[in-house]
Structures are given as structure tokens and as C-alpha cells.
A and B are shown apart, each in its own frame.
Chain A
């Protein structure tokens, strides 16, 4: 695999002294993919709520809330990203690695539980109808609904976007991938917003659980790798260990699904 500089500076120069410019695509590709896929999942969830708000109360207040929410998220990345670049690399890798492990395994566990039917799948249509009903109910009680609608839209974007911000910062900060991960996340949000703007209905057919499963595997692999780096683990193959760790997580998740699906499996006698 050919080495590349993942900083993606316009002049091709890397201005980050800590970024390893011989980092291979084995790090850059999964990092950008994780940011893109995670943003895709979260954008679908946020846009479903925003669509409900727009359908009930009109697009003006909904769009205002979305723009404010996206602005707040961008501000978070622009503020925290450069700050994290000043933290020494190994403690940063350890802290972010542990957080990624907690975050990635939470997503992976939920995706596995949904795959075997222990918890119900995320249904965008039901969420859309519930949010619409809630907003219609508020219409009868208040005249300040436009502000409420804008605030609800803002909160939906902010709360769903926080997970994306964390992923972008975690895979990007300290590794010179902040800009690339941000672009991946923004591309996903742009794609979802454009599709929903055209269709004017929630994206109920997006294979959300499969996406969460994939992102959970990638983030868990990054979490193990960077926690190990922070602890001084000499991973065989360096960065190439990440796809290997991801493959092991995939095998473990699939084996767990198979085991739990067996009748009577995991049930205490």
C-alpha cells in the first residue's frame, strides 16, 4: 500500500508537526469512511425530526434551526480540533482510544442486539409520525410555536450531530485527519439533506442498522489500536493492524449473532 500524507492540505504540504505523513491509506480510508457513515446515520435521524417540524410548521423555522445547529457543530469542531492538536500524542491516543472503544462498542452492541431482534429496529417513519403528532399537539396550546419549532430543529441537529463531532475529532485530531474527516461528515449531511429536500419524506429505507454495525466495527478497531498505541503496544504491521483488528471484531460480532440466534442460547437453565 502506497504511503500518503492524509492532511489533504491544498498545497500538498503537511503543516502538522505531529502528523505522521507516512501514514498509510489503512488509517486514512477507515477514518474518513467512519466519519462519513456515522454522519449518514445521524443525519437521517436528525432530518427525520426536522422534516416532521417542517411539515407541521413550515420550512422557515425548521431551516433556521438546522442552520443554527450546523453552525454550533462547526464551531465545536473548529474550537476543539486545534486545541486537541496541542495535547501530547500518547496521552491523547490513550484518552481518545478509550472513548472510541466505549463509543464504538456501544454502537456495535446495539447493532448486534437489533440484528438478533432483542431491541426493535430504528423506524424513521414511526419517529416522523410521533414528532409530527407532538408538534400538532403544541399548536393548540401556544402561539410561540415558530420559536419552539426552530428550537426543536436546532436541538435535533445538535444532539444527533454531537456523535458525529466526537467521531470527527476522535479520528481526526492528533493524526492530521481533521479536515478529511470533517469533509467526509459534511458530505454525508449534504447528501441526506439534498435527498430529503427532494423527496420531502423520511428516509425509511436506509439500512441504518447495517451502517451502525459497520461504523461500530471501524470505531472499535480504532479504539483498540489507539488505546494500544497510548499504552505503548508495538502493533505488528503498524497501521495495517487496524483492518486486521476490524476483521476480528467483524468475526466476533457475526459469531455472537449466530450464537444468540440459536434457540435457548444464552438463557440460564
Chain B
């Protein structure tokens, strides 16, 4: 049972390590989904710019901590 619990934790840990990063990524994707309703290209711009911004903010946030 403990092995399965560990496996589940490892599986979840593959994608969510830093909570802030995960939240920012999901918010970026949600914003891109909304923007793509207006125009596909806008959606792409929001997704790309948001992802790059998320990386910078996440690292700088950790540095502040």
C-alpha cells in the first residue's frame, strides 16, 4: 500500500512541484483559451508570452523567498 501511495505521490510530483508555478501555468492556459476565442493567433501570443513570464516570475519569486 505504501508503495502505491509513494507511486501516486511521485506521479503527482511529476507535474506539480512548486504550487505557484502550477497555478500560473494553468492560469496562462485558461487565459490563452479565452483569447483564442477571439483569434487563434491571439491565443498563441497569450500562451507563449504567459509561459515565458511564468518562468521568470516563478524563479524570481523563489529567489525572494
Q: Chain A interface (Cβ within 8 Å of chain B)? A: 98-99, 101-103, 105-106, 108-110, 112-113, 116, 118, 155, 158-159, 162-163, 166, 220, 223-224, 227-228, 231-235, 245, 248-249, 252-253, 255-256, 259-260, 265-268
Instruction: Name the interface size band of chain B.
Output: 35 or more
Could you tell me the distance in whole angstroms from the C-beta of A205 to the nearest C-beta in chain B?
26
Q: Inside 8 A of B47's CB, which chain A residues have their CB?
A: 224, 227-228, 231, 233
Q: Inside 8 A of A118's CB, which chain B residues have their CB?
A: 62-63
Interface pair B48/A108, CB less than 8 Å apart: no
Q: How far is the CA of A73 from the CA of B28 in the complex (A)?
A: 32
Q: Inside 8 A of A108's CB, which chain B residues have their CB?
A: 55
Q: Which of B8-49 contact A (CB under 8 A)?
A: 10-11, 14-18, 21-22, 25-26, 29, 32-33, 36, 40-41, 43-44, 47-48
Interface pair B29/A98, CB less than 8 Å apart: yes
Q: Inside 8 A of B22's CB, which chain A residues have their CB?
A: 102
What 15 new A-B contacts, CB under 8 Å, besides A109-B62, A159-B10, A232-B36? A98-B26, A101-B25, A106-B18, A106-B21, A108-B55, A113-B59, A228-B43, A228-B48, A231-B33, A231-B36, A233-B36, A245-B48, A248-B48, A248-B52, A266-B60
Could you tell me the distance in whole angstroms from the C-beta of A35 to the nearest C-beta in chain B?
15
- Between B16, B36, B55, B64, the greatest number of chain A beta carbons within 10 A of the residue's beta carbon is seen for B55
Q: How far is the CA of A249 from the CA of B49 in the complex (A)?
A: 10
Q: How far is the CA of A49 from the CA of B44 in the complex (A)?
A: 42
Given A102-B22, A109-B18, A155-B3, A253:B55 Cβ within 8 A? yes
Q: Chain B interface (Cβ within 8 Å of chain A)? A: 3, 6-7, 10-11, 14-18, 21-22, 25-26, 29, 32-33, 36, 40-41, 43-44, 47-48, 51-52, 54-56, 58-60, 62-64
Q: Inside 8 A of B40's CB, which chain A residues have their CB?
A: 231-234
Q: Inside 8 A of B36's CB, which chain A residues have their CB?
A: 231-233
Q: Nearest residue in B to A233 (C-beta to C-beta)?
A: B44
Q: Inside 8 A of A265's CB, which chain B residues have their CB?
A: 60, 63
Interface pair A267/B64, CB less than 8 Å apart: yes
Interface pair B43/A109, CB less than 8 Å apart: no
Q: Inside 8 A of A98's CB, which chain B residues have their CB?
A: 25-26, 29
Interface pair A233/B25, CB less than 8 Å apart: no
With beta carbons under 8 angstroms apart, the residue of B10, B17, B41, B62 that contacts A233 is B41
Q: Inside 8 A of B63's CB, which chain A residues have their CB?
A: 116, 118, 260, 265-267
28 contacts between A and B (CB under 8 A): A101-B51, A102-B21, A103-B15, A105-B51, A105-B55, A106-B15, A106-B16, A113-B59, A155-B3, A162-B7, A162-B10, A220-B51, A224-B47, A224-B51, A228-B44, A228-B47, A231-B44, A232-B40, A233-B43, A234-B40, A245-B48, A252-B55, A256-B55, A256-B56, A259-B56, A260-B60, A266-B63, A267-B64
